[in-house]
Chain A
Amino acid sequence: MSQNIKKSVADIPEDTIVVEVQGHSNFLVTVGNTGHQFMLELKDNKTITGIKCPGCKKVYVPPRSHCPTCFVKMTEWVKLSGKGTLDTYTVVRYKEQYMPKEPPYAYGVIKLDGADTGIVHMIGGVDLNKIKVGMKMEPVFKEQREGSILDIEYFKPV
């Protein structure tokens, strides 16, 4: 095993006998028809859509096929303005693998107008020290969109 891996995985004495175990599987996770519809709206129309439960009338963003409370199928789509209110947030200042961008960056939960749930996203277009809970937010879309929650680059204060 290379000394580099030994050092990066665990700080252990060099004479420790270890065996290298690598993860090497690749996955393509299907979003399904419901998720597909949501992604298409982001990509083609820069629109955030919610889905409404016929039972409890809650609007979920991002959408799912079944209401978590009522376990009934949801099919009624609701177009949202994309504007919302910052519910909670934090500023990330450390770095590790798989982070969506270079720190420091802020991410938070935004409660969209017309939805009953909050969505997680990055916060941008603002001095990181001036972010405040309760701020009105709106989405900034990427120019090149591919059908992904990251087609929204970030939410910025209105």
Chain B
Amino acid sequence: MNGERIAIVGVGQTVHKSKRTDINTAELCAEAVEAALADAQMTMKDIDCVILGSFEPADGYSGPDKWIVPEIGAVGKAGFEMQNVGTTGGVVAATGFNMAASGLFQNVLCVAWQKMDEAAGAFGRGGGGANEYWTGQFPMSPITNFARRTYDYMTRSGCTEEHLAMVRVKQDQCAQRNKNAQLKLGLTVEKVMNDFLLAWPIRRLHMCPTTAGSAAIVVCPEKRAKKVTKKPVWVEDWFTCHQGGALTMAEDPQASTLGYACRKIYKRCGITNPKKEINAWEVYEPASTAELRWMEEVGVAEDYKAWKLFEQGKVGIEKEIPFNPSGGVTATNPIGATPVVRVVEASLQIRGDAEEHQVPGTINRALATAYGGQGENVVFLLKKTL
């Protein structure tokens, strides 16, 4: 890639909760920004570019940045707000990376948020697709969309409902070790399988929760990064991939933007065996069941065989495949901020700072993704050394 080599030099996130009545949206962002700046050992004075964003319809008002920018002390700084449904945090980070790589800015702050305790039913219609008169006429919410996709996966792979529950239990086990995660439920396969059915085969526990939370990162070009931190997390590559609404790439229901983005980025970075060459994964899965197909699309499992890895107990923090060690999105989902949480978590894994949910051994490379709409993806590859 052209441009400056860049690194994440500071990360921050709030403790994620279902409700935060003690603070407003702007103050929620300030918490994450304070944490990221403290981690980078910087003050707001150092920041010369601010990229921020949320899933704006879930805020309930337009232009939330007009409220947040003053609260985080960013008045007068270069930057702008991004919006791209659940992928928002992904495009916030990708844009921040572009700004740092351009060489025009030395200290780029990316902040994303969602205060979902304030929204009622904002998503029933969401995800139908950008086209209001075709797919938008059907009730294709994330729930129904992932129900259809999951059932499709079951019919093609032979995976059973019990395997879907195993995925959710693994996510919960990871979340219980993450001090910032929201849902820590002590789940068992039986509990998941007896949970309220939303749309076959998706039960309530399979879907991500609504969360009040924010996350922030500070990004610098190489020279500056080496000056400000001993633990830079190098951003090896990133790729954004858009598509249409309810149907997937080029209207082929089996094609996937995640697979497409990963193939592109692996080729550019010379990765031929992702399972070996990537040591930790933070992949945005709005439904626990999506994790199966997406493990296959990112290249850690063979097509339609990921469920067997759960049956064999091979997925987990200390296991062969450390997939979503933070507990992932079914434990915590401040939607617009969720992709930045993925980048923060992947960075902590590389630095060895993930505490209780740290993957053992050296994490040389981690993959983080963003997901939104019905298939937009942003994929990030982070590295320990240049």
Contacts and interface: CB of A to CB of B under 8 A. Distances in A.
A33 interface: yes
Nearest to A67: B73
Interface in A23-42: 24-35
Given A21-B132, A64-B26, A65-B30, A27 B73 contact: no
A27 B133 contact: no
Interface in B118-132: 118-122, 125, 132
B21 A30 contact: yes
Given A66-B71, A67-B73, A27 B25 contact: no
A31 B73 CA distance: 19
A19 interface: yes
Contacts of B69: 68
B154 interface: no
Nearest to A34: B27
A64 B75 CA distance: 14
Determine which residue in A19, A29, A30, A32 has the highest number of CB atoms from chain B within 10 A of its CB, and name it. Answer: A30
Determine which residue in B24, B25, B74, B133 has the highest number of CB atoms from chain A within 10 A of its CB, and name it. Answer: B24
A55 to B, nearest CB: 10
A3 interface: no
Determine which residue in A19, A26, A27 has the highest number of CB atoms from chain B within 10 A of its CB, and name it. Answer: A27
A27 B60 contact: yes
B115 interface: yes
Contacts of B117: 30
Contacts of B20: 30
Given A19-B132, A25-B60, A25-B122, A32 B24 contact: yes
Interface in B96-133: 115, 117-122, 125, 132-133
A66 B73 contact: yes
A27 B54 CA distance: 15
A26 B121 contact: yes
B139 interface: no
A31 B24 contact: yes
A25 B60 CA distance: 8
Interface string A38-70: 000000000000000000000000001111111
A94 interface: no
Interface in B122-161: 122, 125, 132-133, 136-137
B23 A30 contact: yes
Nearest to A28: B118
A30 B118 contact: yes
Given A25-B121, A30-B23, A31-B24, 11 more contacts: A24-B121, A25-B57, A27-B122, A33-B22, A64-B71, A65-B71, A66-B71, A69-B73, A70-B73, A71-B33, A71-B44
Interface of A: 19, 21, 24-35, 64-71
7 contacts: A19-B136, A21-B136, A24-B125, A30-B117, A64-B26, A65-B23, A68-B73
Rank and list the top 10 A-B pairs by shortest CB-CB distance, nearest first: A71-B73, A27-B60, A68-B70, A32-B24, A71-B44, A32-B23, A19-B133, A25-B122, A26-B120, A65-B27
